[in-house]
Amino acid sequence: MRVSICAVGRLRAGPEKELIDDYLSRAERTGRGLGFPSFNVNEVEDKRGGGMATEAALLEKAIPKGARTIALDERGKVMTSPEFADCLADWRDTGARDVAFLIGGADGLDPSLRSRADLSLCFGRMVWPHMLARVMLAEQLYRATSILAGAPYHRV
């Protein structure tokens, strides 16, 4: 199952980008033998300032056709890392070819995207900057592949 992070905004070179690239390359190496052949980031940018509705339209185009979608949202479900890994494995095992994680801009995701998502996921009760949420998601994707592989990275 291919994994995409579809996010509003362009991430420039710097520590966040380096962390994301590192975690996603680790996830890809670990996940390849587990049925997760690729991890990538699809960035969209609302250059005209059209707001959440415009961002939603751009994100829709970035989502692979037929993908399961996970909205990152402060109102979403809080999961443990093993629960997250199990969710990804379950989707993979039931034939999902693609999964797309949706990260909105500064104002979050448009309600129309949130309501259509297969899952809404929250990284705790605090609000996180959308660029930092990418780093946290990339790390959790690597952690999920490590858990599924039985690697010692995740310790309880």
CATH of 2-149 given 3.30.930.10, 3.40.1280.10, 3.60.130.10, 2.40.50.140: 3.40.1280.10
Cβ(6)–Cβ(110) under 8 Å?
no
| Tens digit of pLDDT at every position of the chain (156 positions) | 999 999 999 888 899 999 999 999 999 999 999 999 999 999 999 878 788 899 999 999 999 999 999 999 999 999 999 999 999 999 999 999 999 999 998 888 999 999 999 999 999 888 888 889 999 999 999 999 999 999 988 876
Helix (H, G, I), strand (E, B) or coil at 118: coil
Q: Rounded to two decimals, what is the model's pTM?
A: 0.93
Q: What are the residues whose beta carbons fall under 8 Å from the beta carbon of 109, sequence distance 6 or more? A: 52, 55, 56, 59, 71, 72, 73, 102, 103
Count CB-CB contacts under 10 A for residue 112.
12
